[in-house]
Amino acid sequence: MASTPNGLARIETHGAKTKKHENGICHDDSSAPVRAQTIDELHSLQRKRSAPTTPIKDGASSPFAAALSEEERQRQQLQSISASLASLTRETGPKVVRGDPARKGEAAAKGAPSPHPQPVHHHHPHVTPTIAVSDSSLKFTHVLYNLSPAELYEQAIKYEKGSFITSTGALATLSGAKTGRSPRDKRIVKDEASAQELWWGKGSPNIEMDEHTFLTNRERAVDYLNSLDKVFVNDQFLNWDTENRIKVRIISARAYHSLFMHNMCIRPTEEELEEFGTPDFTIYNAGQFPCNRYTHYMTSSTSVDINLARREMVILGTQYAGEMKKGLFGVMHYLMPRRGILSLHSGCNMGKQGDVALFFGLSGTGKTTLSTDHNRLLIGDDEHCWSDTGVSNIEGGCYAKCIDLSQEKEPDIWNAIKFGTVLENVVFDEHTREVDYTDKSVTENTRAAYPIEYIPNAKIPCVGPHPKNVILLACDAFGVLPPVSKLNLPQTMYHFISGYTALVAGTEDGIKEPQATFSACFGAAFIMLHPTKYAAMLAEKMQKYGATGWLVNTGWSGGRYGVGKRIRLPYTRKIIDAIHSGELLTANYKKTEVFGLEIPTEIDGIPSEILDPINTWTDKGAYKETLLKLAGLFKKNFEVFANYKIGGDSSLTDKILAAGPNF
């Protein structure tokens, strides 16, 4: 072996001298050097371009793809985004380029052209600009377009304070000062058309604003978004019924918002994105920036504004992501009925024989628990459409409450909280990152947003045939409603419009009393039209397709809260199973007093005495007194709907009123 000048043996690493490696012993672990000259270039080699997720059928490319080069397709896509971000007072939209501004060095290392030489912007054809040049017109806005969950994780963790990866892989994030919706700050433009179509006045959730105020807020939101180095853009769909789906574009400033909507809306394939074109509806989420409180109609620094004519929504002063989800739901409550499609705030599942059931119910009624059934496929947990072809889920994900979540009570939700899921406002161990779902330090309204395919028995695509059963759930803390009642069509309409449940609330002296809660159509905060219009559409579809209505009480029996006991969950599950199987269609029935409900005299596996609530009360006088009290609350709540005529005369309205309590 050769020696070095200092007398030490020279180490040989190449060539024939390293013969020991022929005997299975290798002293040389070197390999060919990487094809990179800089660390940025090395990092660029980690990532390769994504292939389309949808294979082209029959080996042929789509007509759109064949006509356009990739460069031209991206140019048109950016031009569409520039048009969305355009100020209405300037001649052109902002100069937009694709990519993260923090990765400009990586692009150069990879040999890609710099994004700055050829920005894309949109020209207004009929606008006289009031400002010829502005600072925003001199800068570039980088567009992070339809990023994957992994990319959005990186953006959130790097740039958004309060973003962490939990022990199960979910992204924990904070929604800022607002941890719930702001219904008093939500407004809809009242123009000539919406003044006639929408429900306004007493009892309505719709608060009016004028066109000028909307445009003022839109300008504020667009200017804020254009002032940023980058914005997130999601192009997605609503409604799994492909004949009636809506194209939505969400422009936001936070990775949290982009990932939330990635999960909650329907995710397009690469092929569908190529043909996406102009969106049907656009959200401008500038929630980190407040509205101007001196602007007309503004009562706080928060404003959530919808303009149905422009098909736009503007969010200022709240970072709570649920505003986007429920804002779009409200839009669907307007758009779908115009097509003869009923939009519904409900859960939906399907049996092995193709029998579909709709579940309506307010918080605490057991809607999530009862609609999640391992023997049935889940079509969706919250928002649906009922068209002439059947039911379809509006969304592509689930938005579940997390407070007091446990693996034993809600295993499907528990297991869905993994990589890709957004966890809002939860508290976790600073070292292990394990979430404490009982901790309410930030808010009681902790939530998880995840794709629906995270639920093992989800039906993909989320569509089904016409429902056979429409189940209205009520948690009656007064203890006077029967565990189950079969409803005729007018009764179904009456109880659907009422949207009743009872909550238990504490009083100052510590005594807890039931409090009746009514929410029209089981979702009053989101409906656009008068509740009777949705009820009439529901009755029409039930009659046309042979669905049966049911009122199921998951609340108390044998007395009101504090006296009686809550109806056992196994009994309620047996009732739901009997509805699904058709057993209750052939049961014997009798009618109750006051509410006039048809109740079965016998159900297999359930004590017959609990089916009629009067049997479970020891104090019959107290039962009748409480029954009349609840009936009075129903009547008082229904006064706001009593004078509304459906159709050319008031006959249907009269039938609905007659279906309520009589005493």
Q: What is the DSSP string of 553-607?
A: E-SEESSSTTTSEEPPHHHHHHHHHHHHHTGGGGS-EEEPSSS--EEES-BTTB-
DSSP bridge partners of 315:
285, 304
Q: List all residues 6 or more positions away from 300 whose beta carbon is below 8 Å from its beta carbon.
A: 182, 184, 185, 293, 317
Residue with tokens 């005369």: 649
Query: What single-letter DSSP state applies at residue 261?
Result: H
Q: Tens digits of per-residue pLDDT, 614-653?
A: 999 999 999 999 999 999 999 999 998 887 766 666 677 7
| Residues 187 and 304 sit within 8 Å (Cβ to Cβ) | yes
CA distance 373 to 368: 9
CA distance 187 to 217: 11
| Residues 253 and 319 sit within 8 Å (Cβ to Cβ) | no
SS (H, E, C) 169-230: CCEEECCCCCCCCCHHHEEEECCHHHHHHCCCCCCCCCCEECHHHHHHHHHHHHHHHHHCCE
Residue with tokens 């803390």: 477
Q: Given a cut of 50, is residue 131 above it in pLDDT?
A: no
Six-digit token string for 69:
């080069």
Reported as a pLDDT band with limits 50, 70 and 90, residue 21 is: very low
CA distance 272 to 282: 18
Q: Given a cut of 60, is residue 5 above it in pLDDT?
A: no
CA distance 5 to 7: 5
Positive or negative CA dihedral for 559, 560, 564, 568? positive
Percent of the chain's residues with pLDDT above 70: 82
* Cα-only R_g, the chain: 30
| Residues 360 and 367 sit within 8 Å (Cβ to Cβ) | yes
Q: What is the location of CATH 3.90.228.20 in the chain?
A: 465-657
pLDDT of residue 53: 43
Tell me if residue 153 falls in helix, strand or coil. Answer: helix
Q: Across the chain, what does the average pLDDT equal?
A: 87
CB atoms within 10 A of CB 97: 18
pLDDT of residue 12: 53
Tell me if residue 84 falls in helix, strand or coil. Answer: helix
DSSP bridge partners of 377:
350
Tell me if residue 432 falls in helix, strand or coil. Answer: coil
pLDDT of residue 135: 60
Q: Tens digits of per-residue pLDDT, 374-389?
A: 999 999 999 999 999 9
pLDDT of residue 111: 42
CA distance 478 to 49: 61
β-strand 390-393 against 463-464: which pairing, if any? antiparallel
β-strand 598-600 against 589-591: which pairing, if any? antiparallel
Q: Tens digits of per-residue pLDDT, 650-662?
A: 677 788 999 999 9
| Residues 157 and 151 sit within 8 Å (Cβ to Cβ) | no
CA distance 204 to 184: 12
Reported as a pLDDT band with limits 50, 70 and 90, residue 364 is: confident
Higher pLDDT, 147 or 512: 147
Q: Tens digits of per-residue pLDDT, 307-342?
A: 999 999 999 999 999 999 999 999 999 999 999 999
CA distance 18 to 320: 65
DSSP bridge partners of 316:
286, 303
CA distance 375 to 373: 5
| Residues 630 and 513 sit within 8 Å (Cβ to Cβ) | no
Q: What is the DSSP string of 526-537?
A: T--S-HHHHHHH
CA distance 616 to 478: 13
CA distance 277 to 179: 34
Q: Given a cut of 90, is residue 148 above it in pLDDT?
A: yes
Q: Which of 27-31, 193-197, 434-438 has the lowest mean pLDDT?
A: 27-31
Residue 565's alpha-carbon distances to 415, 552, 555, 557, 569, in angstroms, are 31, 16, 8, 6, 12
Find out whether the peptide bond into 456 is cis, omega within 30 degrees of 0.
no
Length of the chain: 663
Distance between start and end Cα atoms, the chain: 111
CA distance 357 to 521: 17
Q: What is the location of CATH 3.40.449.10 in the chain?
A: 141-340+386-461
CA distance 275 to 60: 15
| Residues 554 and 473 sit within 8 Å (Cβ to Cβ) | yes
Q: What is the CATH number of domain 465-657?
A: 3.90.228.20
| Residues 314 and 303 sit within 8 Å (Cβ to Cβ) | yes
Letter string b/e over residues 522-546, b meaning 16 or more CB atoms within 10 A of that residue's CB: bbbebbbbbbbbbbbbbbebbeeee
Q: Tens digits of per-residue pLDDT, 200-247?
A: 998 899 999 999 999 999 999 999 999 999 999 999 999 999 999 999
Query: What single-letter DSSP state applies at residue 3?
Result: B
CB atoms within 10 A of CB 444: 13
Catalytic residues: 181, 326, 345, 363, 367-368, 382, 447
Class of domain 141-340+386-461: alpha beta
